[in-house]
Each structure stands twice: as structure tokens, then as C-alpha cells.
Amino acid sequence: MLSWIAAPSAGQVAAVVGLLAAAAAADGVNPVSEAAALRLHRPSAGFMHLLAYDSAGTLVGYAGLDERVERRGAELVVHPGHRRRGVGGALLAELLDRVHGPLWVWAHGEHPAALRLARRAGLARRRELFQLRRDLGEPIPPRALPDGVALRAFAPGEDEAAVIRVNDRAFGWHPEQSRWDIRELMVREAQPWFDPKGFLLAVDPADRLLGFHWTKVHPDGLGEVYVLAVDPDAQGSGLGGALTVAGLAHLRERGVPEVMLYVESDNAAALATYRKLGFAHHHTDAEFLRP
């Protein structure tokens, strides 16, 4: 049985969280994005949840659908104990039936079953997101800040507007990051992992924000270059590399053994920078399009 829900109950949220954890443990990658997982706990206009149950009423599959008209997107997952029974195909068919027109669908970690579903449905591979990782026990190459630039920690309740301004200018082209607003920022500030000391701001002598490196430490101890943004007016100055190194050094000081980041597969400049800093490919998330 499939059920569409705009605002899941506490019990439904707990069941989905358990399903996601089981899939992550079995597959070695998170089955849905952080944004989709956060929307389980916070109803969002234009976002729907699709739950699949077996005949005994057990949750066996889940899909999240972002119906905002500018770029409809979906993510789906089947519980490891209930795979190869048609659940994934039923979820994808329901998503495709609900959305008229283009639909983007993720296959996190290029899971073979997800790739097969996309192929059978006639979806075209259109985007790849690389996850890169680096051992923080290895030396970190030095990168100096540009003249006149200083680093300070993010101040909750004071710096949100400036961060969103730089984020918008840096990521106006990005399908997901360009959608951030102050509410999206504050939802993440409320998460257990949030640490303002790991949210590094690069400012000029007048305290105008030029860029930032927001780091994250996952519950399993893995560090992340969560968001790295440089205002276009400050690009080409070496600020991006200096911010990256500062964030890596912060994570290492916290005792984090390894760090990861996501980067678009076609962002040659960013890939070259990260590889020079010792990052290597870990896995690929692929996004498919139903034209």
C-alpha cells in the first residue's frame, strides 16, 4: 500500500528514520540527502512524503518528492529486508504518475538497483555529484589568507543575513544551494551537530563578509566541508583555498580523523583545487531526469 503524506506523524517519522538508518548501514551511503531527511521533521510547502507498507502494515519503502515547479526532484529508498519485491518500482511509478513533466531522481552511491530502476523507466543520467574524502592525519598544505582578510567564528542571531547574501551570490547557479534562505540556515543551526566555532567567516577590515567555510562533524566522527562559499567579488584572491585549509585545520584540532565533501563532477576548477589538497574520489551520486 502506498500513502502520500504532507506532514508525517511522530510514529511515521520514527519508522522512516529507522528505514533510512537500515539502508545506510547496508549500502554504505545515505539513501537520501540531508535536506530530504530534515523535511521529515519539518513540514515544508511543496514537499510530499510517499510511504510504502506491506500487507502486515510494516514500512518497507519511502520516497520524498519536492514539487516546487522550478525543479521537481525525488529520492526513494527500500528497506534492505524488503528489496527485490517490486517496492522500488512501485514507488518510482507512483512518483512519475504524480508529476507531469520533468522530474529529477537521485541514485545515491549509484546503487545498482536504483540504476536498474532508472534504466527501466527510461530516465536519462544528467548529473553526477562526487563525494571526495581525505585523511586528516596527512599534512595539510598551507594557504595564506589574502592581505587584510581575517577569520572569525559565526555569531548566531547576527550573521545569518550576510551568510545568505554571500551564499546567493556564490551559488546562484546551484540546483539545491541556491534555494537556501534564512529559515533553511536556522533549521541547521538547531541541529545537534551545529557548532558556531566550526563556522568560519572571512571578513575584511570593516567586518564585511567575503566568504565562509561551514564545517560539520557527523555522529560517526566523519568531518565535512559542509558549505564553502566565496563572494564573486573576492574570487581569484586565493581566499577559497585559505578557507578550505582553515576548516580542515579546525576539524583536525577537534580530533576528526577523516573529512569529506561534495563537488559537481563537471566543476573542473574545484576538483583540481581539492585534489591538490589531498582529496580523492569516494563515491558518486547520480541524478536522472524524466524529460
Domain ranges in the chain are 2-122, 133-283
Give me the tens of pLDDT residue by residue for the chain, a chain 291 residues long.
Answer: 999 999 999 999 999 999 999 999 999 999 999 999 999 988 788 899 999 999 999 999 999 999 986 789 999 999 999 999 999 999 999 999 999 999 999 999 999 999 999 999 999 999 999 999 999 999 999 999 999 999 999 999 999 999 999 999 999 888 888 888 999 999 999 999 999 999 999 999 999 999 999 999 999 999 999 999 999 999 889 999 999 999 999 999 999 999 999 999 999 988 998 999 999 999 999 999 998
Among 89, 131, 79, smallest CA distance to 110 is for: 131
How many residues are there in the chain? 291
**Would the CATH topology of 2-122 be identical to that of 133-283?**
yes
CA neighbours closer than 13 Å in the CB half-sphere of residue 174: 19
Q: Give residue 291's pLDDT.
A: 84
What sign has the CA pseudo-torsion 11, 63, 24, 244? negative
Q: Which CATH number is 133-283 given?
A: 3.40.630.30
Q: Give residue 173's pLDDT.
A: 85
3-state helix, strand, coil in the chain (%, to 5): 35, 30, 35
**Plot region of 77 (φ>0 → left; ψ -120 to 50 → alpha; else → beta):** beta
**Helices 10-27 and 34-41 sit at what angle, rounded to 10 degrees?**
160
Cell numbers 547574501: residue: 165
Q: Give residue 244's pLDDT.
A: 96
The DSSP code sequence of 139-152 is PPPP-PPPTT-EEE
pTM above 0.85, yes or no: yes
Backbone phi, psi, residue 217, to 5°: -120, 120
Q: Give residue 77's pLDDT.
A: 97
d(CA 21, CA 239): 37
Q: Is 157 helix (H, G, I), strand (E, B) or coil?
A: coil
Q: Residue 222 corresponds to which cell in the numbers above? A: 566523519
Q: Give residue 4's pLDDT.
A: 97
H helix and E strand count, the chain: 8, 12
User: CA-CA-CA-CA torsion for 12, 14, 16, 18, nearest 10 degrees?
Assistant: -150
Is the domain spanning 2-122 CATH 3.30.460.10? The answer is no
Q: Residue 113 corresponds to which cell in the numbers above? A: 538497483
CB 107 within 8 A of CB 118: yes
What one-character DSSP code corresponds to residue 212? E
d(CA 32, CA 115): 15
Q: Give residue 206's pLDDT.
A: 96
